Structure 1
Amino acid sequence: MSKSSQADPADKIAPSILSADFARLGEEIHAVEKAGADMIHFDVMDGHFVPNISIGIPVLESVRRMTKLPLDAHLMISEPARYVEAFVKAGANLISVHCEVCTDIPAMAKRIRGLGARASIAINPETDADRVMPFAEHLDMILVMSVHPGFGGQGFIPAALDKLRHIRRELKRRGLSIDVEIDGGVKLDNIADVKAAGANVFVSGSGVFGNPDYRKIMGEMRELIARIPATI
């Protein structure tokens, strides 16, 4: 269980390689690692749960060999139970499964943790956060989608801020200290707002990889989030 009286979890920046140059993937990962990334976000899409197909287990295995950073595997797939073990074996440190396709959140979390990874549940923009909150004590992280999953480069959905506030407020009320991740459209112009609303893990694809200087952009992001108190 993640019940704790400790301080709020640390802030983490997780560049999403969905926006990286795949012809230079190894160089891109080394570049964001050197620039100070805390995690690498790995988007998996199956063409069923979301209307797009991305990357899978062989690529994650390759990425694992390229970096010592934690790999944050976001499974946007319709049958995650079939694949979580393979992703953990391939090197994922954290697995996010969508609540929309997970009928037993505690069982899924127990399985992921039993495999040696951290367990997270993701929530689509149209899904109420209270679908997940009853099971928060079983989780290491809750992932809030601030775009409709499937494609990179979308604009941030402002309603995600209210969802973040609700989640962090409920976690604090229940004495739970777990990560809250935001994924979708996170850039310099809104990262302070999502920190203030309760997120502490910031996935950014084009917000990082769309800039020529990864160290500079992530440094500016850190400066902005560091100004926001870690209390909701």
Structure 2
Amino acid sequence: MEKLLCPSMMCANFGNLELEVKMLEEGGVDIFHLDVMDGSFVPNFGMGLQDIEYIVSHTSKPCDVHLMVNKASDYIQKFADIGVQIIYVHPENDPHITRTLQMIRDAHVHPGLAINPGTSIETIQEALNLVDYVMVMSVNPGFAGQKYLNFVDHKFKQLCQMKEQYGFKVMIDGACSPERIQTLSQIGVDGFILGTSALFGKAKSYQEICQELRQL
């Protein structure tokens, strides 16, 4: 099974964003992962709208946005208009999550569901009928560089057993090390959000790292 390698651009070098995008694209990444945070739903602020617009307009690769915000439904059309191909929303602060997911699909964007470490599969099972991607947070959202929370392991197993029935891809976001990529790809996880644990700040080129990760 081919892995989807998705650089978390929150960890990129913004001192030369044009070069970063070019090197990552040439290195063989699959999807650019763009975090949006409002300082309320999570205790941090994420990428700016101008940065996201720049990345989307300077790559031929698909881009996703991960909306860690309150009232995510207010921003669906904005990001659809920018040109992102996947929008992840959270069920934890949205009592009408199925309506929000349908809004994403109606905007001709792939709906994605992001679930926090403390969110069980059982509470979002009905919404799985409406998604193309399910992204499990293996850390508490909001900050890079956190430790992997082992108690989420069973969720990956559950979702990999369900993905054929519902037709979604399983993704991981948080503390995604090469060892974790190897273990999770063996059970059927499709995509990996890559930050400082596997991709950024290493003494190798992005191309070398991507090749090594695909061979795991």
Pair in the same fold by TM > 0.5: yes
What's the CA shift for 1:210?
2.0
Give the equivalent residue in structure 1 for 2:83.
Answer: 91
Give the counterpart of 1:59 among 44, 51, 65. Answer: 51
Give the equivalent residue in structure 1 for 2:64.
Answer: 72
Query: What CA distance in whole angstroms lies between the structure 1 residues aligned with 2:3 and 2:158?
Result: 19
* 2:104 partner SS: helix
> Within the alignment, does 1:108 sit opposite 2:84 as a pair?
no
> Segments of 4+ in structure 1 off by > 2 A?
none
* 2:114 partner SS: strand
Query: What CA distance in whole angstroms lies between the structure 1 residues aligned with 2:145 and 2:138?
Result: 12
Give the equivalent residue in structure 2 for 1:183.
Answer: 173
Confirm or deny: 8 A CA contact 1:57 1:86 kept in the other structure: no
Give the equivalent residue in structure 1 for 2:205.
Answer: 213
> Within the alignment, does 1:17 sit opposite 2:13 as a pair?
no
Give the counterpart of 1:28 among 6, 20, 37. Answer: 20
Confirm or deny: 8 A CA contact 2:171 2:192 kept in the other structure: yes
Give the alignment of 1:191-202 within 5 angstroms.
191-202=181-192
Give the equivalent residue in structure 2 for 1:171.
Answer: 163
Out of 81-90 and 193-202, give the one that drifted further.
Answer: 193-202
> Within the alignment, does 1:122 sit opposite 2:84 as a pair?
no
Gaps of 5+ in 2: none
Query: What CA distance in whole angstroms lies between the structure 2 residues aligned with 1:133 and 1:56?
Result: 32
CA RMSD of aligned residues (A): 1.4
Out of 127-136 and 215-224, give the one that drifted further.
Answer: 127-136
Confirm or deny: 8 A CA contact 1:46 1:52 kept in the other structure: yes
